[in-house]
């Protein structure tokens, strides 16, 4: 393969992609030739983000389509609009998620629990079901979903969030098993603590800075751009024999021992 990372002619759909990790992944995919559809709840933010990608890559590579992933009809509409405006989906990046609650799992209100599980797990199943027909028709495709290293350990303040991300890995593995015979690969991306607006409460304090400087092997917190290369890898032929995996991007915070 002359360039196994080349995504020319591929269509990538990303949720949670108007800023942070999702935007960084979208730009990485566009820089390697893909046409990207970015999605989040607010159209004005998407338009600004898409313009930024187009300026960076020097072509009309990105378009924004608003969608709230908590509603199945909006997810289906997002995929339908992507198909009609750009084409069938080759690469899916489910990056949108929520964390509405901090504290003990024994105190979480039912509505917060249900919102977490719906947005962080069920919505990704909706996405997968909506795009898999495109991939089955082509006999190939790549899906990736953003989990978290929080899936690998308990937490006294982010327990339900971690539970949802572990459930998401379970979903991904089942999708990988079921869709593999159709040529579709499905993987989990598991970030550590990344300096994004979503995680600001976790990293914008002296304790996080001290931990980064003393405990993380690479001695820094993650940046959104650290996710771009993995998205390109998983979306391209470079990873053509990789599926059902949970790949950490965390500076070495979590290692198998």
Q: Which residues are known to be catalytic?
A: 161
Q: Residue ranges of the alpha helices (H) in 180-237?
A: 200-203, 206-214, 228-235
Residue 114 C-beta-side C-alpha neighbours within 13 Å: 4
Phi, psi for 86 (deg, rounded to 5): -125, -40
Q: In the numeric block, which tokens belong to residue 107?
A: 């105190």
Which residues is 36 bridged to in the sheet? Answer: 12, 62
CB 147 within 8 A of CB 189: yes
* Pair type for strands 62-64 and 35-39: parallel
CB 16 within 8 A of CB 93: no
Angle (CA) 149 244 166, round 5° = 35
* Of residues 256, 129, 148, the one with CA closest to residue 196: 148
């Amino acid at each position: 393969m002359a360039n196994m990372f080349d995504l020319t002619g591929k269509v990538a759909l990303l949720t949670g992609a108007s800023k942070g990790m999702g935007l960084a992944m979208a730009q990485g995919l566009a820089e390697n030739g893909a046409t990207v559809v970015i999605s989040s709840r607010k159209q004005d933010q998407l338009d600004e983000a898409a313009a930024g990608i187009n300026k960076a890559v020097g072509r009309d590579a990105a378009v924004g389509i608003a969608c709230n992933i908590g509603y199945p009809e909006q997810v289906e509409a997002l995929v339908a609009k992507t198909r009609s405006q750009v084409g069938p989906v080759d690469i899916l990046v489910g990056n949108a998620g929520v964390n509405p609650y901090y504290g003990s799992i024994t105190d979480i209100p039912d509505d917060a629990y249900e919102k977490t599980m719906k947005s962080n797990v069920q919505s990704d199943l909706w996405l997968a079901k909506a795009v898999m027909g495109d991939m089955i028709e082509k006999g190939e495709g790549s899906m990736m979903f953003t989990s978290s290293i929080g899936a690998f350990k308990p937490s006294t303040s982010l327990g339900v969030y971690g539970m949802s991300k572990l459930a998401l890995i379970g979903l991904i593995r089942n999708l990988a098993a079921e869709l593999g015979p159709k040529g579709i690969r499905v993987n989990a991306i598991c970030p550590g603590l990344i300096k994004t607006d979503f995680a600001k409460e976790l990293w914008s304090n002296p304790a996080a800075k001290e931990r980064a400087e003393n405990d993380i092997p690479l001695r820094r917190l993650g940046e959104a751009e650290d996710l771009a290369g993995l998205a390109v890898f998983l979306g391209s032929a470079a990873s053509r024999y990789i599926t059902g995996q949970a790949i950490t991007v965390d500076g070495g915070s979590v290692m198998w021992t």
